[in-house]
Amino acid sequence: MSHSEILANIQEKVIKGKIKEIEQLCLSALDEGLSAMEILEGGLLMAMQRVAEAWKNGTAFIPEVLITARAMNIGLAVLEPQLAKGERKNHGKVVIGTVLDDLHDIGKNLIGLMLKSRGFEIVDLGVNVKPEKFVDAIKEHKPQVLCMSALLTTSMIHFREVVSALEENDLRENLLICVGGAPVTQAYAQQVKADVYTPDAVSLADLLEARFA
Amino acid sequence: MPLDQSKFPKAKKDLLSREEVKAMIKGKGFTRPAQCVTPILYLPSEQPIRQKEMEQIIEEYPDDAVFFEYTRPKNFGKPGDRYVWCDVENADPLLHKNEDEVGIDEKTALEWDIIEQISPDVPDPYFPECLVQDFFEDDGRYRGIFWTRLSFERLWHFRGMTDTLMDFYLNPDEVKALLLKLRRIIFKVIDRSVDEYNFDAIAFTDDIGMQDRPFFSEDIFLEFIKPHYKEVIDYAHSKGMDVWLHTCGNVEPFIPHMIEIGLDVLHPIQKYSMDEEKIIEQYRDKICFWAGMEVQRILPFGSPEDVRQEMRFLIDTFYLPDKGRLVLASGNRFRHDIPTENIRAFFEELYTYGSYVAKHGVGKHESPSKDHTVLPDR
């Protein structure tokens, strides 16, 4: 099998969710003389890019995105020790959480998985997160980005409280605040003084990667 | 049992009878659209502050179709309870979740080896104390049983949502086995609903749509969900029951399949997720829509006039003159951010404009979302 065939095979297996084969495929590719960076970029990241494209076209759904992100993280665990120091850039730190009075977390989990696989460090505060917990986390972790999720009209009002609390604590500057969730709109994001709104987690992962990569 | 209007002394409307609602569902209706709101509400838990006010509105505008829920036994979750979904010691996600941590899934999801240890006969819908909640005798209205979590919702109740979505790829056989177990339970619920209560319908919840697309592809729907739905619908029909389904979000690719397997009533055709006018154009008179007014913008943040206008738009869009095919409700719960005057406007306009179109035909009202964006002021 040529190197390009090996990489194409990894891509196919990732996209089809053959998670159990990913670890072995990455090890074999290393044995065949491919570098960890080549496998990462030509195999795993390319698979993720293809799924993101399919998402944009409306032909991929959450299972495919989750499977790809999971496969990517399994592959990374194999490849990371082989990557030269500093070869894979850390794009920055992202704090994520579902706001107070809300337990919905699939969007939050998705953004966490996707950003992790794309080279961001993730601090997941979980669900039903109080504004003061967001503030404490920003103080402690000093992230570049804060992503907040809400599925309910009764919980999305807490976006504004978090933004105000961050302003009061002088933590707002140099922090990119992203909001999302089913009832949230671009207009509402502006109203609560967030910086970024995207209609879904995949678009947000793309946007942050383009901004910080 | 014929409908006796005098049983509803505070009602500001003439109710529809069982036969009229059945005709409305089957496309043989000559009455106004039916109202069926309360199954969506969960009044006691959602409305503690204004429960009396809400109850008064419901007394003035009673539903034309009523649904009862199964209740949990008194010993729910305690030794001897045969109604639990998981009887493996210390593993029931309903009883052992800790939602304030990283997330629900991480704390509640069960591994497949635990699921395989669950006794085959729990939960038992024949458990003596599992009776219908707040039961009242037949008053001539259309009546049904409301049973939550038809397929996907129950899968993720066991496995967590993240794992469930990947299980379709990673553990397909286990998913199908769990759905089979679930069907056996649902069949018992249907049997009991018919044999003991003579209900007309069973309504399910199963959120399989997200805001902009379904959770999963049509291929996954065809492999896992459609066969499950079909068996449930066939069984309910064999017992003479209609099947109603609530699913949030965009489920547009699945609607033709739901029609093909005989689903009778679909709720809510969520605004901003699907284009109501396109849906009715494609599936006119093939299914009864249980149209739900959206709760993301207009009901919580619009004016009472916005609510009335949206109700007129929904009725003009979905009501088929001389056929019906329309039941009306909210799209989801009336949470506390929905002003009471909007809720009152909702019920009043549902009846008033519904009665008007039954006599004079539909108009061409547009949704208020067409000419202005309704935004929260907080």
Count CB pairs under 8 A between chains A and B.
94
pLDDT band at B376 (very low <50, low <70, confident <90, very high): low
Contact yes or no for B246/B267 (Cβ under 8 A) = yes
Nearest CA to B343 out of B77, B61, B69 is that of B61
pLDDT band at B90 (very low <50, low <70, confident <90, very high): confident
Contact yes or no for B285/B306 (Cβ under 8 A) = no
Strands B65-69 and B142-147: parallel
Residues of A in contact with B101 (CB under 8 A): 126
Which of B42, B100, B254, B336 to probe by mutation at the A interface, max A CB count within 10 Å? B100
d(CA B247, CA B258): 12
Interchain proximity A153–B166, CB inside 8 Å: no
SS3 call for B88: coil
Give pLDDT, residue B105.
65
Interchain proximity A153–B100, CB inside 8 Å: no
Residue B357, C-beta contacts closer than 8 angstroms, at least 6 positions apart = B32, B33, B315, B316, B319, B321, B363
Which of B105, B166, B213 shows the shortest C-beta gap to A63?
Answer: B166
CB atoms within 10 A of CB B139: 17
Which of B274, B337, B338 to probe by mutation at the A interface, max A CB count within 10 Å? B337
Interchain proximity A127–B99, CB inside 8 Å: yes
Question: Residue ranges of chain A with pLDDT lower than 70?
Answer: 86
The token pair at A37 is 């960076």
d(CA B198, CA B190): 10
Give pLDDT, residue A189.
96
Full-model pTM: 0.93
pLDDT band at B209 (very low <50, low <70, confident <90, very high): very high
Structural class in CATH, domain B5-370: alpha beta
Give pLDDT, residue A24.
96
What angle (nearest 5°) sits at the alpha carbon of residue B332, between those of residues B77 and B340? 110
**Mean pLDDT of all residues belonging to chain B:** 90
ipTM, two decimals: 0.90
Is residue B378's pLDDT more than 60?
no
What angle (nearest 5°) sits at the alpha carbon of residue A77, between those of residues A74 and A80? 140
d(CA B199, CA B196): 8
d(CA B111, CA B133): 32
Give pLDDT, residue B93.
59
- Amino acid residing at B77: G
Contact yes or no for B15/B61 (Cβ under 8 A) = no
Is residue B127's pLDDT more than 80?
no
The token pair at B187 is 């069949």
Q: Say if residue A173 is exposed, middle or buried (CB neighbours under 10 Å; 0-12, 13-18, 19+).
A: exposed
In the beta sheet, which residues pair with residue A72? none
Report the pLDDT averaged over residues B73-87: 73
Which of A70, A106, A156 shows the shortest C-beta gap to B161?
Answer: A106
What angle (nearest 5°) sits at the alpha carbon of residue B350, between those of residues B346 and B356? 140
Which of B214, B373, B378 shows the shortest C-beta gap to A157?
Answer: B378
Give pLDDT, residue B360.
96
| Residues of A noted as catalytic | 102, 104, 155
Nearest CA to B200 out of B292, B71, B68 is that of B68
Interchain proximity A199–B212, CB inside 8 Å: yes
Give pLDDT, residue B76.
66
What DSSP line would sit under B143-210, residue for residue?
EEEEE---SHHHHHHHH-HHHHHHHHHH-HHHHHHHHHHHHHHHHHHHHHHHHTT--SEEEEE---B-
Is residue B320's pLDDT more than 70?
yes
Is residue B79's pLDDT more than 80?
no
Going along chain A from its start, the domains and CATH numbers come out as: 3-82 (1.10.1240.10), 92-212 (3.40.50.280)
Give pLDDT, residue A16.
84
**Residue ranges of chain B whose CB lies within 8 Å of a chain A CB:** 99-105, 161-162, 165-166, 168-170, 210-217, 220, 249, 295-297, 300-301, 335-337, 373, 375-376, 378
Report the pLDDT averaged over residues B197-217: 96
SS3 call for A38: helix
The token pair at B348 is 């009043």
Give pLDDT, residue B110.
86
Nearest CA to A18 out of B218, B217, B166 is that of B166
The residue in chain A having the minimum alpha-carbon distance to the alpha carbon of residue B300 is A153
- Amino acid residing at B255: I
d(CA B36, CA B329): 6
Give pLDDT, residue B81.
73
pLDDT band at B103 (very low <50, low <70, confident <90, very high): low
Interchain proximity A61–B336, CB inside 8 Å: no
- CA dist B230 → A114, A155, B80, B187, B263 (Å): 35, 36, 34, 12, 8
Q: Say if residue B74 is exposed, middle or buried (CB neighbours under 10 Å; 0-12, 13-18, 19+).
A: exposed
Q: What is the pLDDT of residues B329-358, one digit of tens each?
A: 999 988 888 999 999 999 999 999 999 999
The residue in chain B having the minimum alpha-carbon distance to the alpha carbon of residue A61 is B216
Query: Within an 8 Å CB–CB cutoff, is residue A160 touching chain B?
Result: yes
Is residue B191's pLDDT more than 90?
yes
Contact yes or no for A135/A158 (Cβ under 8 A) = no
Is residue B374's pLDDT more than 70?
no
User: What is the separation of C-alpha A10 from the centre of its chain, rounded to a whole number of angstroms?
Assistant: 21
What DSSP line would sit under A139-193, residue for residue?
HHH--SEEEEE--STTTTTHHHHHHHHHHHTT--TT-EEEEE-TT--HHHHHHTT
Report the pLDDT averaged over residues B95-121: 72
d(CA A169, CA B246): 44
- Amino acid residing at A120: F
Which of B216, B295, B373 shows the shortest C-beta gap to A62?
Answer: B216
Q: What is the pLDDT of residues B19-71, one digit of tens each?
A: 999 999 999 988 999 999 988 886 656 667 788 888 899 999 999 999 998 87
Task: Write phi, then psi, for B329 (nearest 5 degrees).
Answer: -160, -175
Is residue B242's pLDDT more than 90?
yes
d(CA B269, CA B267): 6
Task: Write phi, then psi, for B214 (nearest 5 degrees).
Answer: -65, 160
Which residue bears the tokens 């992503």?
A: A147
Interchain proximity A199–B211, CB inside 8 Å: yes
pLDDT band at B120 (very low <50, low <70, confident <90, very high): confident
The residue in chain B having the minimum alpha-carbon distance to the alpha carbon of residue A57 is B213
> What's the count of helices (H) and strands (E) in chain B, helices before strands?
15, 8
d(CA B232, CA B216): 21
Q: Spell out the domain ranges in chain B.
A: 5-370
CB atoms within 10 A of CB B10: 10
Which of A58, A67, A126 shows the shortest C-beta gap to B101?
Answer: A126
The token pair at A46 is 């390319």
Strands across the sheet containing A145-149: A120-124, A92-98, A145-149, A176-180, A196-197
Contact yes or no for B24/B357 (Cβ under 8 A) = no
In terms of residues, how long is chain A?
213
Instruction: Please list the alpha-helical segments (H only) found in chain B.
Output: 18-26, 43-46, 51-60, 104-108, 112-115, 152-159, 161-170, 172-195, 218-220, 226-238, 255-260, 276-283, 298-301, 304-318, 340-360
Instruction: Please list the alpha-helical segments (H only) found in B95-137.
Output: 104-108, 112-115
